[in-house]
Chains A and B, each alone.
Chain A
Amino acid sequence: MSNATNDTQEKSFLGLLLTAGCDSFPQALWRSLIAAVWFVFLTFPIMVIRVNTIEHTVVWHWQRMGYVAVGIFFGSFVWRWLLARKELKKDAASRESKAESLLTRIQNNPTSKYLLLALIALLAVAGPMKFSLFGSKLQLLNLYQTNIMISCLVYIVLGLGLNIVVGLAGLLDLGYVAFYGVGAYAYALCNMHWGVGFWAMLPVGAVLGALLGLLLGFPVLRLKGDYLAIVTLGFGEIIRLVLENWGDVTMGPSGISNIDRPALFGIKLGIIGSTHYMYYIMIGLLVLTIFCVNRLQNSRIGRAWLALREDEIACQAMGIDKVKTKLMAFALGATWAGMAGVVFAAKTTFINPASFTFWESAIILSIVVIGGMGSIRGVIAGAVILILVPEYLRDFAQFRMLLFGSIMVVVMVFRPQGLISAKRKLYTYQAKPAGAANE
């Protein structure tokens, strides 16, 4: 194996691309040919034949067969090359990628760390502002971009919240969207009936989320792994169905409109003003979330979660209260979803149950896993990819979701541990002078 590795490393980039994963070029050619033929067979009925069973006519799209054949033939070279590259770098990948080690180096040096943080903060604050530089007008984010940035920030907060449950405590939750929905509905209903403001509801949303998290946590304490997943999925669906069917209270499927946007010291802002205001609120909320999650991660309870994730029985043997720890994970994770829900309702000014389907839970979970479980930087990267990419793929019109699905598969196949994987904290003890050790 090591011999082969050395051989392939010596080959040029092109040579590797042409023969990756095979002994020789003819073999690679052969394999690509087989792949192309296989996919032509595979896609034949669905892509080529279009039958109209009413008028009894058939339309044949033979040219599509050619596209598939050519696409797969060349694509398979790239696929094998990427797989071989992943195999080659397996040892390196399990340690750190280049970008990660750069981040680590920056983080270890206080000056560069604070410089970087300051730069990010400056960019974030200056984002939606207009200012002129050397005579030319400059604006980093226009209104649309600010708007999708807000969505992205909401999803980062959701991802960080779910990260506590899935990434740290290792409890697979497929119904996370329920807490998000409850937060949103709490604000919408209180605002509609009693005119309660945004700032008053933000903490209420958080508390409601936490309470609901406890409520869900109790019955599922005994369940493990995928049984837990399906029960949480069911829980999410139950909440959504209740929102949909309990029309007297929740206004049913027609939803609640005209929810107030947050007012700045009692002043109502226009669409541009309030979008910018919302953006800064989300930046603030995100900083708070990152601070809290970071502190939690390194706290006693955070380490208990990690232990619970690794091995429940050993964890109990070490004297960790399993019930308390699990419930804390559910409650603290749900808190952020409740808050994000309040922000969501205030941002869109209209909510209906269609926003809180299972797909939403799946997307939030994907953010956590694609980013890298348990890693704050990873979750941010995951949210940026999964929320901003579909928005920028709008140019591809109807191919948008097709590309989105394939990107999810490709990212997972080539970086199964996530984009930025979590790093366990290392404690290094330096040997003390001999005198101290002898005591």
Chain B
Amino acid sequence: MREIVKRILLAAALVAMLAPSALAGGKLLLGVAGAHSGDLASYGLPTVNAAKLVADKINAAGGVNGMTVEVVAEDDQCKPELATNAATKLLSDGVKIVLGHICSGATKAALPIYLDGEMVVMSPSATNPPLTQSGEYPNFFRTISSDDAQASLDVAYAKTLGLKKLAVIHDKGDYGKGFATFAKQFLDADPSMDVVLFEGVTPGAVDYSAVVQKIKSAGADGVVFGGYHPEASKIVMAMRKKGLDIPFISDDGVKDDTFIKVAGQYAEGVYASGPKDFSKNPLFIEAVAAHKAKFGTDPGAFFPEAYSAALALLNAVKVAGGTDYAKVCEALRTSFVDTPVGKIKFDAKGDAEGVGFSIYQVKGGKYVQVQ
């Protein structure tokens, strides 16, 4: 029985190789779209590295059903209009599976094009809830949980810390403000906690001392911050230097080792929600080692999620026996795959099952999961 299956698969692979389709020349194109230049490049480039590493690994093991994986990287600078260009470029190039985009806004702009071209998209970092929850994009998957799940977890944790008056700060961005708005909703719903300040800071501003003074004068006993680590580290450092020693709770944009590196001693005690701890996962250790060997540096933001997404996509192609749209989607929803973020498959809406959030705290220069 197994022999027959093998033969069928082999025949299917041969047919796929001979067929003058997107798999021309026994190549499987893996599109990678995201910010590879501009101010948000530091969030996009790790994904490209992850895709390259996964492709190397799979190719070294004989490829996917005999096809060599080739990475096609397209830059969108996190701008919607460039994202549509990148998407049509990938569509024209005959790419069928795409890892990306990085920003939720760019993803939203590009998805209709992918949907029309029957391409499967998986983002390592687009956390905007409606992307999956609206059900408008059956071709969209992600290896990260959505913002509202995170916000409710953070607010619940703030309650266990016994905080009463919270200042909610965000970076005015799509991601940060979305998270902060959810956090505010959950806080407003809870009568025992008050939002004493809800404000946005300008990303990249020279300093944030005025906002910190405002948090102080509002009498907040805790800060919830939505946004990324550069702003978070600036605010935390300014708070601590001004002697404002209240809990700082943030999102997975801050749960990044760069945050600890940059904020140094001031990072101690900061809480951040992030994907469940996978630092002991052998695949994750292997991926980080491979990154160090090839690029000589530690991987950047969203690297494990991107690495997992690339593995999941390629595994789905393998299981589906080709890049047929319906089959790949089916494979993603039904078959489990081992990835650095754990053993995952995807639910009907496209969110990964087995990926969840937990709260971390910086202790001794490391993020430690809080029980």
Q: Let me know if chains A and B touch directly in the complex, using CB atoms closer than 8 Å.
A: yes
Chain A interface residues toward B at CB < 8 A: 54, 59, 142-148, 151, 244-245, 247, 252-255, 257-258, 270-272, 275, 344, 347-352, 354-355, 391, 394, 397-398, 400-401
In the assembled complex, which residues on chain B have CB atoms less than 8 Å from the CB atom of A146? Answer: 88
What 8 A-B pairs are tightest by C-beta distance, nearest first? A271-B116, A144-B92, A350-B109, A147-B88, A144-B88, A144-B89, A253-B174, A401-B37
A268 to B91, CA, bound (A): 20
Is residue B364 within 8 Å, beta carbon to beta carbon, of the partner chain? Answer: no
Distance (Å) between the CB of A152 and the closest chain B CB? Answer: 11
By beta carbon, the residue of chain B nearest A244 is B172
By beta carbon, the residue of chain A nearest B260 is A54
Is residue B255 within 8 Å, beta carbon to beta carbon, of the partner chain? Answer: no
A244 to B203, CA, bound (A): 13
5 contacts between A and B (CB under 8 A): A144-B85, A252-B177, A398-B37, A398-B41, A400-B37
Given A54-B261, A253-B177, A255-B174, the answer on whether A271 and B113 have CB atoms closer than 8 Å is: yes
Contacting pair B88 A344 (CB below 8 A):
no
Is residue B105 within 8 Å, beta carbon to beta carbon, of the partner chain? Answer: yes
Contacting pair B75 A394 (CB below 8 A):
yes
Apart from the given pairs A147-B88, A245-B172, A254-B105, 8 other A-B contacts in the complex at a CB distance below 8 Å: A142-B92, A143-B92, A151-B85, A253-B172, A350-B80, A352-B80, A394-B89, A398-B36
A398 to B79, CA, bound (A): 16
Residue in B92, B93, B116, B173 whose beta carbon sits within 8 Å of that of A270 in the complex: B116
Is residue B104 within 8 Å, beta carbon to beta carbon, of the partner chain? Answer: yes
By beta carbon, the residue of chain A nearest B173 is A253
Contacting pair B108 A400 (CB below 8 A):
no
Contacting pair B81 A145 (CB below 8 A):
no
Contacting pair A143 B80 (CB below 8 A):
no
Q: Which DSSP category, helix, strand, loop or mixed, fits chain B's interface?
A: helix
Distance (Å) between the CB of B202 and the closest chain A CB? Answer: 9
Distance (Å) between the CB of A95 and the closest chain B CB? Answer: 39
Chain B interface residues toward A at CB < 8 A: 36-38, 41, 45, 73-75, 78-81, 84-85, 88-89, 91-93, 104-105, 108-109, 112-113, 116-117, 128, 136, 172-174, 177-178, 200, 261, 296
Contacting pair B104 A349 (CB below 8 A):
no
In the assembled complex, which residues on chain B have CB atoms less than 8 Å from the CB atom of A245? Answer: 172, 200
In the assembled complex, which residues on chain A have CB atoms less than 8 Å from the CB atom of B105? Answer: 253-255, 350, 352, 354
In the assembled complex, which residues on chain B have CB atoms less than 8 Å from the CB atom of A270? Answer: 116
Residue in B79, B112, B128, B136 whose beta carbon sits within 8 Å of that of A355 in the complex: B79
Given A145-B92, A271-B113, A351-B80, the answer on whether A255 and B108 have CB atoms closer than 8 Å is: yes
In the assembled complex, which residues on chain B have CB atoms less than 8 Å from the CB atom of A354? Answer: 78-80, 105, 174
Residue in B81, B112, B174, B178 whose beta carbon sits within 8 Å of that of A344 in the complex: B81
By beta carbon, the residue of chain A nearest B170 is A253
By beta carbon, the residue of chain B nearest A53 is B261
Residue in B36, B38, B178, B261 whose beta carbon sits within 8 Å of that of A254 in the complex: B178
Contacting pair A147 B174 (CB below 8 A):
no
Given A244-B172, A255-B105, the answer on whether A275 and B88 have CB atoms closer than 8 Å is: yes
Residue in A142, A271, A397 whose beta carbon sits within 8 Å of that of B112 in the complex: A271
- Residue among A247, A257, A275 facing the most chain B CB atoms (10 A cut-off): A257
Given A144-B85, A253-B172, the answer on whether A348 and B80 have CB atoms closer than 8 Å is: yes
A147 to B113, CA, bound (A): 11
Distance (Å) between the CB of A356 and the closest chain B CB? Answer: 10
In the assembled complex, which residues on chain A have CB atoms less than 8 Å from the CB atom of B109? Answer: 257, 348-350
By beta carbon, the residue of chain A nearest B105 is A352
In the assembled complex, which residues on chain A have CB atoms less than 8 Å from the CB atom of B80? Answer: 255, 348, 350-352, 354-355
By beta carbon, the residue of chain B nearest A349 is B112
A398 to B42, CA, bound (A): 12
A217 to B37, CA, bound (A): 35
A411 to B85, CA, bound (A): 25
Given A349-B109, A350-B80, the answer on whether A254 and B174 have CB atoms closer than 8 Å is: yes
Contacting pair A143 B37 (CB below 8 A):
no
By beta carbon, the residue of chain B nearest A255 is B105
A12 to B261, CA, bound (A): 59
In the assembled complex, which residues on chain B have CB atoms less than 8 Å from the CB atom of A350? Answer: 80, 105, 108-109
Distance (Å) between the CB of A159 and the closest chain B CB? Answer: 16
Distance (Å) between the CB of B109 and the closest chain A CB? Answer: 4
In the assembled complex, which residues on chain B have CB atoms less than 8 Å from the CB atom of A257? Answer: 108-109
